[in-house]
Amino acid sequence: MVGAFQGAGVVVTGAGGGIGAALARRFAAEGARVVVNDLDSGRAKGVADEIDGIALPGDASAIVDDARDALGGTVDVYCANAGVAFEGGTAGGPLDETAWAASWDVNVMAHVRAAHALLPAWLERGSGRFVSTVSAAGLLTMIGAAPYAVTKHGALAFAEWLSLTYRHRGVKVHAICPQGVRTDMLAATGSAGDLVLQPTAIEPEAVADALLQGIEEDRFLILPHPEVAAYHQARAGDPDRWLSGMNRIQQQWEEAR
């Protein structure tokens, strides 16, 4: 797909490292003009300088207008990639409502706010592309991390809603659902990530490759780990059997701890 996005205006949130940085580099390699967003201004500038992009540090929930201005008035592709992950659940200790609120805000509402700001112009011109970095947790779940699992389901549901509502009006939507990816976020998942995600973890660049292939094939669901499709089918086909299997993994994790 060399040059497929030549001159396109692309925004990637959470692009100071990990998957976001890989997406920014890949779109730049395709000829795009890339806005690199991250809360860490130094990291945003580092990636932007590397790809001759535009650094736009700050909260991913409120950058669309500034990104549009930086790109000369048009955003063609918006990658809602910024995310947070918190361990914990609802029992065995105090309920961390701060973690739940932050997870909803970054993992779901930032996507909603971005789409709300982008859609008027996209619908008027009949084109636009929204990329949501969801995680396989949005299709399946993640042990030991209720806020992450629940809000990633929400992110997937919102991406599905965008696609079914606006695809006939030229808006393309893609949901990227990898399992483990070798990033700082994976390193922070602790023993649960070591058990479930590390054995099949891939590099961020593989996620970017999968996205570009999915775009070329015009697919909504992007699975950098192809085996996730079978897990998703098993979950839908026999929920009780799938939950029993996941519970066994939960017990293994508890024993290992």
Average pLDDT (176-205) is 75
The pLDDT score that the predictor gives to residue 200 is 76
Does the structure show a pLDDT above 80 at 194? no
The tens digit of pLDDT for each residue in 99-122 reads 999 999 999 999 999 999 999 999
Lowest mean pLDDT among 130-144, 187-201, 212-226: 187-201
CA distance 166 to 169: 5
- 9-256: CATH architecture: 3-Layer(aba) Sandwich (3.40)
User: Residue 120 carries which side chain, given as an amino acid letter?
Assistant: P
Q: What is the mean predicted confidence (pLDDT) over 34-63? A: 96
- Where do the domains of the chain lie? 9-256
pLDDT range class, residue 86, cuts 50, 70, 90: confident
Q: Which residues contact 244 (CB under 8 A, 6 or more apart)?
A: none
Neighbours of 238 (CB within 10 A): 12
- Residue with the bigger pLDDT between 232 and 86: it is 232
What are 102's strand-pairing partners?
none
- Out of 11-20, 115-124, 193-202, 237-246, least confident range: 193-202
pLDDT for the residue numbered 191: 62
Average pLDDT over residues 143-162: 95
Of 13, 3, 64, 87, residue with least CA distance to 43: 13
DSSP code for 15? T
Asked whether the predicted pLDDT for residue 42 surpasses 90, the reply is: yes
Tell me what pLDDT residue 143 has. 86
Q: What is the mean pLDDT of residues 137-148?
A: 92
Tell whether the model's pLDDT for residue 190 goes beyond 80. no
Does 2 have pLDDT greater than 80?
no
pLDDT class for 212, splitting at 50, 70, 90?
A: very high
Mean pLDDT of 12-30: 97
Neighbours of 14 (CB within 10 A): 29
Rounded Cα–Cα distance for residues 112 and 105 (Å): 9
